[in-house]
Structures are given as C-alpha cells and as structure tokens.
Amino acid sequence: MADYRLRVLRSRRRTLAIGVPEPGLVEVRAPLHATDGEIAQALQKADGWIQKHLAARQERAAAVLAQGRFTEEELRAMAQRAAQIIPARAAYFAPRIGVTYGRITIRNQKSKWGSCSAQGNLNFNCLLSEAPPEVLDYVVVHELCHRKEMNHSPRFWAEVARVLPDYRARRQWLKTEGGKLISRMTGA
C-alpha cells in the first residue's frame, strides 16, 4: 500500500478530486455516490501525480525547518509593504480593465493569494510583498478581472490575457515557488 495517510471527504460534489494538503497526507474529495473501489482506482491512476506532490510537500516542509516560519513581526512588515504596493497597483490596472472595486484588505492567508467578493471588495495575501512584482501584478489583475467575470471561464482568462499576455508564466511562479512562501506561514 502507499506510504501516506488517506483522508476521504464525501460531499454533494459531482467529481472526484485528489490533493496533498500537507506532508504525508493525501485527501480525496469524492461525490456521495463514489464507491471505495472507484476511489481506490482513482488513487492508483494518480499515483505518479500523488508521489510528485508528496515529495514537493516534503521539500517545502524541509525548507520551513531550514528557514523557519515567518515571525509575527515579519508578517506585520510584509502586510505593511503589501498595503503600500497593492492599492497602487489596483488603481493602475482597474481603469485598464474597465472595472471599479470596493475595499482592499491585506490578510495573512494560508491558502489563497487573493479573492474578490460579490460586493467588489478585494483581499490579498500579505506574502505577495515577497513575490516578484510581475507576480503581484498578476494576482491584482486576476482579482480585478473577477469584477467582470466571477468565475474562471474562458471569457475570464481572455480578459486576464488581454491585460497580461504572459499571465501563464506569472501564474506558474505561484505554482512552483509560491508554496514555499505559504509553507513558511503554515509550517506545512
């Protein structure tokens, strides 16, 4: 059997999803009707992906041990820097996208880089102050584009690409390097 802990969460979702939320743990989010056999088959089929992501989680955990978790002082300093940079970038990009927005909040988020509420309020992770400027801009543009499309449809991505034609490279940085920052906040 595999060398990890398994957590199965059943809900009224339509599809089965597999994730690695922390080192040594594989989480399966499954529809209520999914059988144990279907879940086992999905795990077997995704074994290569699972092993790759378990190794990446373990590497990030080792980096946390080597570098240490962010202190409260460091997080406050990041939040202050982000609060200076992000509103200016939002003000720059909003007219180019053709949107307005409400309040901007900087948070110590453990899983998200940003979010946009139905009321147009924007939330951003303080860790963005540690990301390259082009990555920070991508997250700002991403959230502002949700003011036009509150989803991740092809129309949404077309809007992001209109403003940032190279958004995929910026997004890739978050996927490959962003976890290292988040893991220093969460310890995972």
CATH, domain range 72-186:
3.30.2010.10
Domain ranges of the chain: 5-67, 72-186
- Of the pLDDT bands very low, low, confident and very high (cuts 50, 70, 90), residue 185 is confident
The residue type at 144? L
Please list the residues that pair with 122 across neighbouring strands.
104, 116
Q: Considering the chain, what is the average pLDDT of its residues?
A: 91
Q: Per-residue pLDDT for 104 more than 50? A: yes
158 phi and psi angles, rounded to 5 deg: -65, -40
- Quick one: pLDDT at residue 69? 82
- Quick one: pLDDT at residue 57? 81
Digit-coded pLDDT (tens) for 69-90: 888 999 999 999 999 999 999 9
DSSP 19-30: EEEETTEEEEEE
Please list the residues that pair with 9 across neighbouring strands.
29
pLDDT, mean of residues 31-54:
95
pTM beyond 0.75: no
- Quick one: pLDDT at residue 29? 96
